[in-house]
């Protein structure tokens, strides 16, 4: 849901045709990768969420078919969007699989926060940019926004998962540099994200774009409730989906 909303945001700003194909691609991409992470790192649930681990144990027979199905469904959509997008996405999927299965413990300076942000940034920004004909400034804005907002999300959850990461040997900014530094990086990233949104609103001279500050502020509030509220993860994902919804309303 979160990746779909962000892809919708990017596609709407870029003005590409068939804008709803990109949220669908983002949904299937993130779903497949998320399932693979859960399959490979199931021990993390033993530390963080035993109830979720029990759920995955009961339904493990569904995970592999769902993983294959998510990428199988993505193939015809990517081919419709373009051969270049299909080839690049296939390469990124391969890199993601290699990183998840073998790279998390072997590349100490590529934490999962950065890897997730790069993967999300590719699927929500790079793919629609390749189909768009827009000034470089707009393309750069979409790239920066997509990477930073994805990084904010992944770092927020890494702070929650830092104990499991340390036990399992997974690399993340909190496990590498400590929670205090990670929280500082998160705060700076949030400030940069707000600055980018305000700058873009001034650049395009559209006062309505300031409405994008609403999902941004909701996001910042939601990530501070992660692990404190029962539905905190849902709140974070809804706020990210809000970027796409607000942009659709602005474009009306």
Element (H, E) at 40: helix 21-40
Mean pLDDT value across residues 29-51 = 72
Q: How high is the pLDDT of residue 5?
A: 93
pLDDT for the residue 167: 66
pLDDT in tens, 227-237: 655 567 788 88
The average pLDDT across 9-14 equals: 92
- pLDDT higher than 90, residue 89: yes
Q: Which of 191, 217, 204 has its CA nearest to residue 14?
A: 204
Q: What is the mean pLDDT of residues 212-220?
A: 91
**Structure-block tokens of residue 56:** 């995955």
Q: Which two tokens stand for residue 181?
A: 């530094």
- Per-residue confidence (pLDDT) for residue 27, from 0 to 100: 94
pLDDT band at 204 (very low <50, low <70, confident <90, very high): confident
Does 83 have pLDDT greater than 90? yes
Predicted confidence at residue 159, as pLDDT, reads 86
How many C-beta neighbours within 10 Å does residue 17 have?
9
Question: Which two three-digit tokens encode residue 191?
Answer: 């400030």
pLDDT(45) > 60: no
Confidence of residue 43 (pLDDT cuts 50, 70, 90): low
Q: Within 82-223, where are the H helices?
A: 83-98, 112-121, 127-131, 136-160, 162-168, 173-177, 179-204, 213-223
Q: What is the pLDDT of residue 59?
A: 67
pLDDT at 230: 58
Give the CA angle between residues 135, 126, 245 to the nearest 5°.
Answer: 85
Instruction: Give the separation between CA 252 and CA 247, rounded to whole angstroms.
Output: 9
Please report which confidence band the pLDDT of residue 122 belongs to, taking 50, 70 and 90 as the band edges.
Answer: very high
Who has greater pLDDT, 227 or 91?
A: 91
Compute how many other C-beta atoms are within 10 angstroms of the C-beta atom of residue 109: 7
The confidence band for 226, taking pLDDT boundaries of 50, 70 and 90, is confident
pLDDT level of residue 22 (50, 70, 90 thresholds) = very high
Q: Which of 106, 137, 103 is nearest to 119 (CA)?
A: 103
Tens of pLDDT along 93-109? Answer: 998 888 877 766 666 55
| Residue 11 clears pLDDT 70, i.e. is over it | yes
**What average pLDDT does the chain have?**
84
For the segment 137-195, what is each residue's pLDDT rounded down to a tens digit?
Answer: 899 999 999 999 999 999 998 888 777 666 666 788 888 888 899 999 999 999 999 99
CA separation for the pair 196, 63 (Å, rounded): 38
């Amino acid at each position: 849901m979160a990746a779909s909303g962000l892809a919708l945001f990017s596609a709407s700003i870029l003005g590409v045709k068939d804008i709803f194909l990109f949220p669908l691609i983002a949904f299937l991409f993130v779903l497949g990768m998320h399932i693979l992470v859960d399959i490979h790192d199931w021990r993390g649930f033993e530390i963080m969420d035993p109830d979720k681990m029990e759920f995955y144990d009961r339904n493990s027979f569904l995970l592999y078919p769902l993983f294959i199905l998510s990428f199988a469904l993505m193939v015809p959509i990517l081919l419709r969007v373009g051969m270049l997008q299909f080839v690049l996405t296939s390469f990124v999927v391969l890199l993601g699989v290699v990183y998840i299965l073998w790279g998390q413990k072997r590349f100490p300076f590529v934490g999962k926060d950065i890897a997730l942000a790069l993967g999300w940034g590719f699927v929500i920004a790079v793919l629609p940019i390749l189909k768009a004909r827009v000034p470089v400034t707009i393309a750069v804005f979409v790239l920066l926004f997509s990477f930073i907002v994805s990084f904010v999300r992944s770092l927020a959850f890494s702070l929650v998962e830092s104990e499991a990461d340390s036990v399992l040997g997974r690399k993340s900014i909190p496990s590498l540099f400590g929670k205090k530094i990670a929280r500082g990086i998160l705060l700076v990233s949030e400030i940069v994200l707000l600055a980018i949104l305000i700058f873009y609103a001034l650049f395009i001279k559209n006062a309505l774009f300031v409405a994008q500050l609403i999902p941004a502020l909701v996001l910042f509030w939601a990530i501070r409730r992660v692990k404190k509220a029962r539905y905190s993860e849902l709140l974070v994902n809804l706020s990210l989906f809000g970027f796409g919804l607000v942009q659709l309303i602005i474009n009306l």
